[in-house]
């Protein structure tokens, strides 16, 4: 198969990631199985409890900047800040690590086709934080499970927006990475 693809000069465009998501139903099945039929909470109540707990953790991280250590040594969630700046490498090439302002960039690209062709981006300077960019990290180096390298955690948009509001309001700060 690979020889056939190489002969035709075609690229391998398959997605080689294994994607597996778990949700409330999977957690409820696990709860039911581990309680040996003695569970007294129905699925709706279980879901309400889980949502309330998750919103509490999200609020502590995004509104107070607190880190959350997950039970059973699964890892921890931390807020860190990074100093982002424009650098010049040894070859004289400019390395711009500032975050992209996609709204302004798309407006520029709609007005100016040449800027779109050259992929010119408008960047945030983050003057309100002294040039620091905040990020949420899932730290798993002390976690106690196998195949840590294949797991990742993505944080939802609500959490990121709450975090952004808290940073702009000056309510939270984080440690340097």
Does position 56 have pLDDT exceeding 60, yes or no?
Answer: yes
| Low-confidence winner among 9-23, 27-41, 119-133 (lowest mean pLDDT) | 9-23
Residue 94 in tokens: 């400019």
- Residue-level pLDDT at 177: 63
List, as one string, the DSSP characters of 1-61.
-HHHHHHTT--------------HHHHHHHHHHHTTT-----HHHHHHHHHHHHHHHHHHH
pLDDT band at residue 114, thresholds of 50, 70 and 90? Answer: very high
What's the average model confidence in pLDDT over 92-110? Answer: 90
Computed on alpha carbons and rounded to an integer, the radius of gyration of the chain in Å comes to 22
Q: Where are the domains of the chain?
A: 44-82+135-177, 85-125
Q: Are strands 76-83 and 175-176 parallel, antiparallel or unpaired?
A: parallel
Dist. CA 82–CA 97, nearest whole Å = 10
Q: How does pLDDT run across 141-154, given as a tens digit for each residue?
A: 888 888 888 888 88
What's the pTM?
A: 0.67
Dist. CA 28–CA 25, nearest whole Å = 5
Contact 148, 78 (CB under 8 A): no
């Amino acid at each position: 198969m690979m020889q056939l693809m190489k002969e035709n000069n075609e690229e391998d465009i398959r997605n080689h990631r294994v994607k597996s998501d778990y949700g409330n139903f999977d957690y409820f099945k696990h709860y039911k199985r581990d309680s040996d039929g003695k569970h007294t909470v129905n699925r709706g109540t279980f879901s309400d409890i889980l949502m309330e707990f998750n919103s509490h953790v999200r609020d502590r991280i995004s509104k107070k900047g607190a880190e959350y250590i997950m039970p059973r040594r699964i890892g921890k969630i931390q807020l860190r800040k990074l100093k982002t700046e424009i650098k010049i490498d040894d070859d004289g090439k400019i390395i711009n690590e500032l975050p992209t302002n996609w709204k302004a960039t798309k407006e520029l690209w709609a007005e100016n086709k040449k800027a779109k062709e050259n992929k010119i981006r408008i960047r945030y300077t983050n003057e309100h934080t002294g040039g620091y960019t905040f990020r949420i990290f899932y730290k798993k180096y002390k976690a106690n499970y196998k195949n840590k390298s294949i797991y990742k955690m993505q944080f939802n948009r609500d959490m990121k927006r709450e975090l952004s509001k808290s940073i702009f309001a000056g309510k939270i700060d984080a440690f340097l990475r």
